[in-house]
């Protein structure tokens, strides 16, 4: 059994492994070199691999994401780190209009084997320009694959298969997970295609991903003490969604609750609920429900930030509402 490591260390080991395996792989982004990364994920890699493969960039997401796309088209396997998802909007044009569309627009002649990593999520009192969960926006775009590793095992195992994908892959790392400890487990068997059942149950399906998975699992533990056995699904892959795993679980429990740190309006949670209604309507004993962030820019004050985000207590309350009358 592998020794425990933090989510941060797992990401670093994944980077080190990829750099050692393939000479075409390089890392680029703000402060990834001498500073060791904004979240210390790339600490020590500059000394190990040199400035040609660990490249500090100017403060221009539009510029260095575009450079990563060009490198991918030129035969390299770039890993681009964007400091926070809010800043990735500065690079939305090359990501959406070039990286995601080029295979289609070239009639299959070109692909963009690019990996973009970025921190997402709130809970650290960094206010509205550093705290939003926008991965659902990117999951709306055909041509992109969207990953959200929530465990140490997935943090360690998802990067290499992402680099083998001929099309662009965006990896969203919830910033509150970096210090989380766990075992990397059988990381070499991690896939980037399917959701995973993290807890089996019979009464209710809790669907979560990234930073909401831990809260969903804690809520499931609390509900179990009250006699409600929840099945917890970790989406892991936000595009394409693993409908089969979701429908199999909902078909068993007959109730679904989605936990999504994105805003409620136009959310990933809304898409998941719609798919459940489309594919499993007659299996349901109650309307699907969701717990999302409040429709406000994430506040700075701790008590307001906590009030704006999904919490264990709000998940439990929503589960009670779903199971009422059972």
Catalytic residues: 61, 130
What is the number of H-type helices and E-type strands within the chain? 14, 14
Angle, alpha carbons 275-280-283 (nearest 5°): 150
Q: How far apart are CA 116 and CA 82, in angstroms?
A: 7
Angle, alpha carbons 69-267-124 (nearest 5°): 75
Residues 6 or more apart whose Cβ sits within 8 Å of residue 79: 15, 18, 25, 26, 27, 28, 115, 116, 117, 159, 163
Q: How far apart are CA 135 and CA 130, in angstroms?
A: 14
Identify whether the C-beta of residue 95 lies closer than 8 Å to the C-beta of residue 117.
Answer: no
Q: How far apart are CA 23 and CA 317, in angstroms?
A: 51
Rounded to the nearest angstrom, the gap between the alpha carbon of residue 11 and the centroid of all alpha carbons in its chain is 13
Alpha-helical regions (H) of 181-233:
213-225
């Amino acid at each position: 059994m592998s020794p425990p490591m933090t989510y941060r260390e797992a990401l670093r080991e994944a980077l080190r492994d990829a750099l050692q395996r393939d000479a075409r792989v390089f890392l680029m982004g703000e402060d990834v070199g001498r500073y060791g990364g904004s979240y210390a994920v790339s600490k020590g890699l500059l000394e190990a691999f040199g400035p040609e493969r660990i490249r500090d960039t100017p403060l221009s997401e539009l510029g260095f994401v575009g450079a990563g796309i060009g490198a991918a088209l030129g035969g390299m396997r770039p890993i681009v780190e964007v400091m926070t998802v809010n800043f990735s909007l500065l690079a939305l044009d090359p990501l959406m209009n070039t990286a995601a569309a080029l295979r289609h627009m070239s009639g299959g002649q070109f692909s963009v084997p690019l990996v973009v990593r970025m921190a997402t999520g709130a809970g650290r009192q960094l206010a509205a320009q550093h705290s939003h969960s926008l991965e659902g926006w990117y999951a709306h775009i055909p041509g992109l694959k969207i990953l959200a590793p929530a465990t140490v095992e997935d943090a360690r195992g998802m990067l290499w298969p992402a680099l083998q994908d001929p099309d662009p892959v965006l990896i969203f790392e919830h910033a509150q997970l970096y210090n989380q400890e766990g075992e990397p487990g059988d990381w070499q068997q991690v896939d980037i295609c399917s959701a995973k059942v993290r807890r089996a149950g019979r009464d209710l399906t809790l669907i979560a991903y990234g930073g909401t998975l831990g809260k969903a699992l804690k809520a499931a533990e609390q509900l179990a003490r009250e006699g409600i056995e929840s099945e917890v699904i970790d989406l892991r892959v936000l595009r394409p969604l693993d409908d089969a795993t979701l429908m199999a679980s909902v078909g068993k429990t007959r109730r679904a609750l989605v936990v999504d740190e994105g805003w409620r309006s136009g959310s990933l949670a809304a898409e998941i609920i719609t798919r459940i209604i489309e594919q499993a309507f007659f299996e349901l004993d109650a309307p699907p429900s969701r717990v999302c962030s409040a429709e406000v820019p994430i506040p700075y004050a701790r008590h307001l930030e906590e009030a704006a985000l999904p919490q264990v207590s709000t998940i439990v309350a929503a589960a009670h509402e779903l199971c009422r009358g059972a």
